[in-house]
Amino acid sequence: MKTFPNRQIIYVARNPKDVAVSFFHHYRHIVGYEGTQEDFTEAFLHNQVIYAPFNDHVLDFWNLRSKSNVLFLFYEDMKKNMAKIVEETMKFLEKNYSNDQVMKLCRHLSVESMRANPACNNDLLVEKAKFLNRNGQISGDFKFIRKGIVGSYKDEFSQQVHKKFDAFMQHPPLKSNQFTYRI
């Protein structure tokens, strides 16, 4: 993989269980996917959706994390302590902000703030999808940025799907590269 040595790359990995839930809702509302969540999940697990294969993509960037121009982060860590991640990112970007500026930035980067921002929330894309969606499944309250909750998959997956994802997350190349998803 080309690393673009003159560019700084910030990569954020997220637990694939939460990714699949979010991705399913995007497929359903934006693309017009009419299948079940279980069918979509099977496609995700078998790399039959766009941006696949998921594990390989994450692993490519994990293996670049020691490069000076790559910062590898976890979404779950951002949700746990945004200020710490902002400070880590400042160091990576060689920036220095006051505590007040860091707190302001943390508020600006919150899921709630991004959901309220028409540019971040892709309001134009959602409106066009509502117009183009042939099955009319987009509800008036659909937001591009949904919940942003860590572990929301727990409310949506059956035990069988949980087990399939647990196996997916034990992908041998991930283990051989000492990578573990955050939960």
Domain count, the chain: 1
- Report yes or no on 2 lying in a domain: no
- Report yes or no on 134 lying in a domain: yes
* Closest by CA position to 168, among listed 159, 181, 155, 156: 181
pTM: 0.85
For residue 128, what pLDDT is reported? 67
Compute and round to an integer the Cα radius of gyration of the chain: 18
Confidence of residue 139 (pLDDT cuts 50, 70, 90): low
11-47 residue pLDDT tens = 999 999 999 998 998 788 777 788 999 999 999 999 9
- Report yes or no on 182 lying in a domain: no
For residue 2, what pLDDT is reported? 61
- Report yes or no on 152 lying in a domain: yes
For residue 175, what pLDDT is reported? 87
Lowest mean per-residue pLDDT among 78-87, 102-111, 141-150 = 141-150
Domain of residue 67 covers 9-176
What is 102-134 written as a DSSP string?
HHHHHHHTSHHHHHH-TTTTTHHHHHHHHHH-T
d(CA 133, CA 153): 26
* Closest by CA position to 159, among listed 12, 10, 46, 17: 17
- Report yes or no on 181 lying in a domain: no
Instruction: State the CATH number of the domain containing residue 28.
Output: 3.40.50.300
